[in-house]
A = this chain, B = another copy of it.
Amino acid sequence: MNETGEITGRTRVLGILADPIAHVKAPPGINRIARQRGRDAVMVPFQVAPEHLAQFADSLRNLKSFDGAIITVPHKGPMAQHCDEVSEHARAVGAINVIRRDPDGRLIGDALDGTGFVAGLAVAGIAIAGRSAYLAGAGGAANAIAFALVSGGVSKLTIANRTRAKAEALRDRILALHPGAIIAVGDGDPSGHDLIVNGTSLGMRPDDASPLDTTRLTPDMIVAEVIMVPEMTPLLQAAQDRGCRIHLGKPMLDQQLELMADFFGL
């Protein structure tokens, strides 16, 4: 929006690609950052089904008023295929969460969620270097976080996923980029780790199974969530009840939004 808060013909358009989309949280945050930075830009929701993603990506190349988009579920993996360029980090992660449209129409993809997660921990005073980490999940968010945790210097990373092969594949992809990392494939038991991270969507719905065995949580553990709604997931509640320090999903979003705004050129 311009300095009077209006959207005009000069306003640059940003999007968030998701399906479903009603729950996405980023647009008010990005629009607030644009206002704070004095940029005439606005983020709006783009709800596109997976089967129409390729077509929509092509149309974005030719939408001259468009500068970039956040990419979220279920498009984070597939959208990487439709970019003209993807960062090495995002290629390794196998998913992106932002695209930028260069003036020549090329779409550049990157993955900022893992970096945002680690930055959110840092802002909360939680350093990860030298600590051991347990990560539930091997999907999009978990992938990004796994790479960021290893890049951030955890002493050991254990990946636990319902489908074990996905955890093994993630481990192998991280090892390809970071050959010296110590990475295990685990089960539902988080025992023996300093930092416990839920990187699955389990906990968004009231009847979801727990992403890990909460009876094994101990007060020396820090338990962190990627889920933002509900703010207090059953996992975080159980962790708090057991005396763990908890870390909500929102700081990751806050840090990511700043990183995304930078990426969009805001």
Chain A interface residues toward B at CB < 8 A: 6-11, 13, 16, 18-19, 21-25, 27-28, 31, 42-49, 52, 55-56, 58-59, 62-65
Contacts and interface: CB of A to CB of B under 8 A. Distances in A.
Contacts of A45: 7-11, 13, 65
A62 B45 CA distance: 13
Contacts of A23: 9
Contacts of A21: 9, 64-65
Contact of A7 (B43, B56, B62): B43
A9 B18 contact: yes
A228 to B, nearest CB: 12
A55 B62 contact: yes
A65 B42 contact: no
Given A9-B23, A47-B63, 20 more contacts: A6-B27, A6-B28, A7-B31, A7-B42, A7-B44, A7-B45, A8-B27, A8-B45, A11-B27, A13-B44, A13-B46, A19-B64, A42-B44, A44-B65, A46-B63, A48-B62, A52-B59, A55-B62, A56-B59, A56-B63
Nearest to A20: B9
B9 A25 contact: yes
Contacts of A58: 55, 59
A19 to B, nearest CB: 7
12 contacts: A6-B31, A8-B28, A9-B21, A9-B24, A10-B22, A13-B45, A42-B42, A44-B65, A45-B65, A49-B64, A52-B59, A56-B63
B19 A7 contact: no
Given A48-B62, A52-B62, A63-B56, A16 B22 contact: no
Nearest to A72: B9
